[in-house]
Amino acid sequence: MYNFDFEQPASVEAAVAALQAEDTLPLSGGQTLIPSMKQRLNAPAKLVSLTGIDALKGVSVDGGTLTIGAATTHATVAAEATAYPALAALAGGIGDPAVRNRGTIGGSLANNDPSACYPSAVLGTGATVVTNAREIAADDFFDGVFTTALEEGEIITAVKFPIPEKANYQKFEQPASRFALTGVFVAKTADGVRVAVTGASEEGVFRWTEAEEALSANFTPEAVDGLTASADGLISDLHGTPQYRASLIKTLTKRAVAAA
């Protein structure tokens, strides 16, 4: 790994100021960034650690909204997001215990790995990503594989989830990496049903709108029986063909509805 300067500010303002420097990246849990720096896929001149900023940590509930600070670990979300059990369960299924003790929701969303778990919850719940500068609706946040609406130097500070009536995440694990070979997040709210799919598309997380319509009319696993998820644009790799992933999307959607 190439060397870099390390800073650990105590406030969001100081972090944002430090991030103005050339070639500087935020560091959260490091569970993605550090391995990528070892492989020299990333070689910043400076890292600004966010994990010393108390304002970025914690889980809170206000009315029907669950807010999670960007630097909150997966383990903390698993333990404390009891007001939104499907989200707590998703967080508790990411990677392994040591990864969950360091990795954070903000890092996961900023990274937008096409097989990551959190993006499906954010898109599937219609959550809002809060940054130091603005609020971004989930539908506008994810911009294709490893790409988001974040500007350079902009950091996620929190995520606001409207707590749904029912929700569930089904992850079909790729056993070596423990990421989702395909995962489906289903949420039922007063406004209808959202179905978000991760691990499947070459474009990253997406909504399966036909299933959303069918499930909004009839929230049962059978409601999607007549649908077929398209294999167009789905990932093809040694773990699965596009057709296999398309089949998983439907199966996991049905399982998620049954379990919600």
Q: Which does 70 bind (CB under 5 to 8 A by kind): other proteins, ligand FAD, none?
A: ligand FAD
Q: Which is nearer to ligand FAD, 155 or 214 (CB)?
A: 155
Which of 21, 83, 102, 255: binder of other proteins (CB under 8 A)?
102
Provide φ and ψ at 92, rounded to 5°: -70, -10
Q: Does residue 50 belong to the site contacting ligand FAD (CB under 6 A)?
A: yes
Q: Does residue 38 belong to the site contacting other proteins (CB under 8 A)?
A: yes
Report how far apart the first and last C-alpha atoms of the chain are (Å, whole number): 44
Q: Which is nearer to other proteins, 24 or 125 (CB)?
A: 24
CA nearest to 75, candidates 50, 113, 105: 105
Q: Which is nearer to other proteins, 3 or 190 (CB)?
A: 3
Provide φ and ψ at 143, rounded to 5°: -125, 35
Q: Which does 160 bind (CB under 5 to 8 A by kind): other proteins, ligand FAD, none?
A: none
* Structure token digits, residue 67: 């807010």
Q: Does residue 49 belong to the site contacting other proteins (CB under 8 A)?
A: yes
Q: β-strands 128-131, 65-69: how paired?
A: unpaired
CA nearest to 159, candidates 81, 241, 237, 234: 81
CA dist list (Å): 157 to 13, 72, 124, 136: 11, 10, 20, 11
* Structure token digits, residue 247: 């089949």
Q: Which does 9 bind (CB under 5 to 8 A by kind): ligand FAD, other proteins, none?
A: none
Q: Does residue 95 belong to the site contacting ligand FAD (CB under 6 A)?
A: yes
Stretch that binds other proteins, among 14-22, 29-37, 111-119, 163-171 (CB under 8 A): 29-37
Q: What b/e readout covers 29-44, taking b as 16+ CB neighbours within 10 angstroms?
A: bbbbbeeebeeeebeb
Stretch that binds other proteins, among 30-38, 123-131, 161-169, 191-199 (CB under 8 A): 30-38
Q: Does residue 117 belong to the site contacting ligand FAD (CB under 6 A)?
A: yes
Distance CA 211, CA 229 (A): 9
CA dist list (Å): 163 to 10, 33, 117: 30, 30, 18
Indicate if the alpha-carbon torsion angle 15, 19, 21, 24 is positive or negative. Answer: positive
Q: Which is nearer to ligand FAD, 133 or 258 (CB)?
A: 133
Query: Side chain identity at 29, as an amino acid letter?
Result: G
| CB of 199 closer than 8 Å to CB of 183 | yes
Which of 16, 18, 24, 27: binder of ligand FAD (CB under 6 A)?
27
**Segment 154 to 213, residues that bind ligand FAD, using CB under 6 A:** 155-156, 178-179
Residues that bind other proteins (CB under 8 A): 1-6, 8, 27, 30-31, 34-35, 37-39, 47, 49, 51, 75, 95-99, 101-102, 176-178
Residues that bind ligand FAD (CB under 6 A): 25-33, 50, 70, 94-95, 99, 103-104, 106-108, 110-111, 113, 116-118, 150, 155-156, 178-179
